[in-house]
Amino acid sequence: MRPHSFTHDFPFCETFESMERSPAGEFLRNSRVLFPIVESIHLIGLALFVGTLLLIDLGLLGCAMRRQPVHEVAAALAPWTWSGFALLLLTGPFMFTAQAAKWHDNPIFWIKMPLLAVATVFQLSVRRRIAAEQPAKLIGAISLVLWIATGLLSKMMEFV
């Protein structure tokens, strides 16, 4: 018997189901307080990540932090950007596990996750190198669009 009836034929049906049924998934789903707490930590990580990232991207675009070179701002904020990212990576999979089958059935989930991967790779490769050198508007704009889209899709997932 499946806990969730699938309407979309995405890959990994069985894997996602077994994740949801795992002890960690059961525990998180059945606790009234744990899920909201984990989600709050996820949001605080997101605030830290997005807030610092946004200022650097806006700096690259020449819209904010104009009084300092972008690479200085980026270097000063980097530890906090990555702490925020660490909080997101620690809490995200837990939230996912609790409702894996539901997310499996959610088309927006399948748009968000590849986008997250693209944004992360972009962040670690192209953007990191540029931020250390010259302000580059295109890089800042791409980074902004990628992360804003990832964030908005995450919230939209709840409503689909």
Kindly indicate which of the ranges 12-20, 30-38, 94-102, 133-141 contains the residues binding other proteins, using the contact rule CB under 8 A: 30-38
CA distance 154 to 4: 21
Binding mask 110-129 for other proteins (x = CB under 8 A): --------------------
Q: Which is nearer to other proteins, 118 or 157 (CB)?
A: 157
To the nearest 10°, report the CA torsion of 131, 133, 136, 142: -30
**Listed ranges 9-17, 59-67, 98-106, 109-117: which one lies at the site for other proteins (CB under 8 A):** 59-67
* Residue in 19, 50, 70, 142 binding other proteins, rule: CB under 8 A: 50
Min CB(159)–other proteins separation in Å: 4
Q: 109-114 long-range contacts, Cβ below 8 Å, gap at least 24?
A: 109/157, 110/10, 111/153, 112/150, 112/153, 112/154, 112/157
Question: Using the 8-state DSSP alphabet, how is residue 125 labeled?
Answer: I
* Cα 75 to Cα 62: distance, rounded to the nearest angstrom: 17
Contact 145, 61 (CB under 8 A): no
Taking CB under 8 A as the binding criterion, the range among 57-65, 90-98, 124-132, 135-143 that sits at the site for other proteins is 57-65
Query: Which parts of this chain interact with other proteins (CB under 8 A)?
Result: 32, 35-37, 39-40, 43-44, 46-52, 54-55, 58, 64-68, 72-73, 76-77, 79-80, 148, 151-152, 155-156, 158-159
